[in-house]
Structure 1
Amino acid sequence: MSSVVMALFWLCALLLGLAAAMSVYADMNLDCRPGSVTVVWTESRSHVDTSLFRLGSCFPTRVSAREAVFSVDLNDCNFRRLVTGDKMMYTNDLTYASSPDSLILPFSELVVCVYERPKDWYPLIYDPVFQTYGEGDLVFHIGLMNDDFSGPAESTNFPLGSIIPIRASVEQKTHQPLLLLLEDCVASTTAELQPESSIYPIVNNKGCLLDSKFSRSKFEPRKESSAIRLSLQAFKFALGEEVFIHCDLLAWDRSFLDHTKKACHYTKDYGWELLDNPANNNLCDCCESSCKSRRTRSTALGKHGILQKAVLGPLTITDVKS
């Protein structure tokens, strides 16, 4: 048995142990089916409001005085998928967000479904020019562009030190106008991020373009709020190999920007700058430490925005010396 599979085995054993040790006040029943899951939380405490439970981004399918039931598709609710060896694992968080005056403190429980990996399943090979991701009435796009961002890239090969133009956007249809942000981006040699994947951080700390501190990478001025353009300098990572760029795209209400909802890049003569309103550059001060919301209660993601994971690639960075 490989070390990865063994680690997965012990993780599952630990989760079963935690479930067995769950508080006597509640019980969680989990029914993992192909492509879907049913979670039933049964609560004996009268002070618990079962309508306040959430499974990832999903509200309960139905509630009663003592139960919160979720019957959902594994492609919904922001489930996380991890493929390891011959196993495919989906995880999510069942959370309880109590009101400020409640006697019950907020808490969360991990939901895990483990399946045998289908024999005909392989990591998706993503279109290197444009990829589309749907989320309700929003449609996200991410793609490689030509030098002036006027059209798709003609090549997916980039010499070390050259600029990789990337554009992400969101079609909002009937939705209220939203601002598109890159919350997190890393480069990897795999189309699916896995524990053993080698990564190169690009954007981190809730919207800080980390790579701009060490290169010519920068966010380009916006032409529209629903799109963001990134000029990324080709970095020395996995030279000559296929590279995938994994990003969290965030469509957000621009009225609620804070230290965790922003787009910041570093300029040599000034320091960290906010892309959308330099008058609020203080939102970027945390890029050198840890960016956390300074609101007494953080703004709910589902109310003011939607987060969508996206993968761009494969592309190849070549060594100009070779």
Structure 2
Amino acid sequence: MSPSCAASLLIAEYKDQVTTIPEGGSDKSKDIEVLCHIDRMYVRVRRDMFKTPHAYKFLKLGRCPVNAGKKEHFFLLHALKSNCGFKKMSNKDCVIISIVLTFHPNTPILRDLPFEVKLQCRYPRFFHSYKVGFIPQIQGGTVYRQLPSRSTFVLTPQDESGNNIMGSRTFVLGQPMFFQAGGPSSMTSAGQKRVYIQKCHITISQNPNASPSYTVIDNQGCMIESKITPTSAFIKGNQKKIQRFTVPAFIFKDQASSASTQQLFMHCQIYVGPLTPTPSSKACNFDPVSKKWKELHGPNSVCDCCESTCPSPHPRGNVQCCNLQSVLEG
């Protein structure tokens, strides 16, 4: 660490010391004084530098004016992220924040000469915990974060061959999008259990409560989207600890624009239930030929409630989310 950075460190860490900008070695070396905070610059200027009481009107820190005044000083305190005009530079040791203190009176006559003084605050790029401390500041705002599932349910985007898709993928409108819902590893020894998908909906945000939202599976395992297009369906398989399904790609109308791309998020409620399906735990597709609902691995009668309201099994699963993209081409 260079000596200049080490010296500035005492200033940057909220010390009540003042760094003086020398005025050419004159006796009035403390006419202009600077205190560097971690997020703002504090400047005070002696009043007796000026001959007129209204000189503060023409004194500026970059583009920012005097904040306050007392008997002996004018004060300028401004955040480094303000629009005053702070400039940021850096080298291998320091981050340097600089700005110019100006006095340019625009009166018809002058009783005080204009001046410009360049001010700097130097902050070390590296901090050592045994030398200094810092006080963190908590900023408000909302951050949505996918929480790890204690029951280890997983919802994974796949291709039609059953291979997992890593990251995001682009789809053309109407192209099938495949997903696999997997249960916890404890299902291996659980015996007569099966994974059920209670509900799935799609949003343009990681927030499952965001709007707009489009539901594809509802009513405790009814693929309601299959009544609109047969491309939407639960996929039959031999393994009961996973459940695959497919939905054709789309975009939200209200969010559409020419040659637009929408990033979509699938949110699902996954449940481990009995091996034999019930009206509360099932995987039902609508058959457009017979105009009836059909269950993948059990009697179709459990799907009769898909046209009304199916009873809830009070699932122990939680919401799982994965990311996909749908692209309009044409």
TM-score, L = length of structure 1: 0.52
Give the alignment of 1:181-192 within 5 angstroms: 181-192=196-207
Say whether the 8 Å CA contact 2:232–2:246 is kept in structure 1. yes
Give the alignment of 1:223-242 within 5 angstroms: 223-237=238-252, 238-239=255-256, 240-242=261-263
- For 1:118 and 1:264, the matched residues in 2 are separated by 47
Say whether the 8 Å CA contact 1:209–1:263 is kept in structure 2. yes
Q: AA paired with 1:159?
A: V
Give the alignment of 1:84-233 within 5 angstroms: 119=140, 121-124=142-145, 133-135=149-151, 139-152=152-165, 156-173=169-186, 175-177=189-191, 178-194=193-209, 197-215=211-229, 216-233=231-248
With over 3 angstroms needed to count, the CA separation of the structure-2 counterparts of 1:186 and 1:162, relative to structure 1, is same
After TM superposition, the runs of 4+ consecutive aligned structure 1 residues lying more than 6 A away are none
- For 1:230 and 1:151, the matched residues in 2 are separated by 13
Give the alignment of 1:22-61 within 5 angstroms: none
- For 1:118 and 1:260, the matched residues in 2 are separated by 44
Q: CA deviation at 1:281?
A: 0.3
What do the CA deviations read for 1:28-73 (whole angstroms, capped 9, x no partner)? xxxxxxxxxxxxxxxxxxxxxxxxxxxxxxxxxxxxxxxxxxxxxx
Say whether the 8 Å CA contact 2:222–2:284 is kept in structure 1. yes
With over 3 angstroms needed to count, the CA separation of the structure-2 counterparts of 1:222 and 1:155, relative to structure 1, is same
Give the equivalent residue in structure 2 for 1:35: none
Give the alignment of 1:290-305 within 5 angstroms: 290-292=309-311, 301=314
What do the CA deviations read for 1:128-169 (whole angstroms, capped 9, x no partner)? xxx96322xxx2111111221134368521111000010111
Q: CA deviation at 1:118?
A: 6.6
- For 1:226 and 1:183, the matched residues in 2 are separated by 15
Q: AA paired with 1:186?
A: H
- For 2:175 and 2:139, the matched residues in 1 are separated by 40
Give the equivalent residue in structure 2 for 1:289: 308
- For 1:222 and 1:236, the matched residues in 2 are separated by 29
What do the CA deviations read for 1:285-318 (whole angstroms, capped 9, x no partner)? 111121126xxxxx6x4xxx632211111x2211
**SS at structure 1 position matched to 2:183:** strand
Say whether the 8 Å CA contact 2:220–2:279 is kept in structure 1. yes
Percent identity over the alignment is 21
Say whether the 8 Å CA contact 1:132–1:141 is kept in structure 2. no
Say whether the 8 Å CA contact 2:168–2:325 is kept in structure 1. no
- For 2:305 and 2:327, the matched residues in 1 are separated by 34
**SS at structure 2 position matched to 1:307:** coil
Give the equivalent residue in structure 1 for 2:326: 317
**SS at structure 1 position matched to 2:317:** strand
With over 3 angstroms needed to count, the CA separation of the structure-2 counterparts of 1:234 and 1:141, relative to structure 1, is same
Say whether the 8 Å CA contact 2:194–2:273 is kept in structure 1. yes
Say whether the 8 Å CA contact 1:252–1:306 is kept in structure 2. no
With over 3 angstroms needed to count, the CA separation of the structure-2 counterparts of 1:191 and 1:155, relative to structure 1, is closer
**SS at structure 2 position matched to 1:283:** helix
- For 2:265 and 2:168, the matched residues in 1 are separated by 15
- For 1:228 and 1:236, the matched residues in 2 are separated by 25
Q: Gaps spanning 5+ residues in structure 2: where?
A: 1-137
Larger radius of gyration: 2
1:253 to 2:253 alignment? no
| Count of matched residue positions in the alignment of Structure 1 and Structure 2 | 183
Larger fraction in strand:
1
Q: AA paired with 2:171?
A: F
Say whether the 8 Å CA contact 2:203–2:212 is kept in structure 1. yes
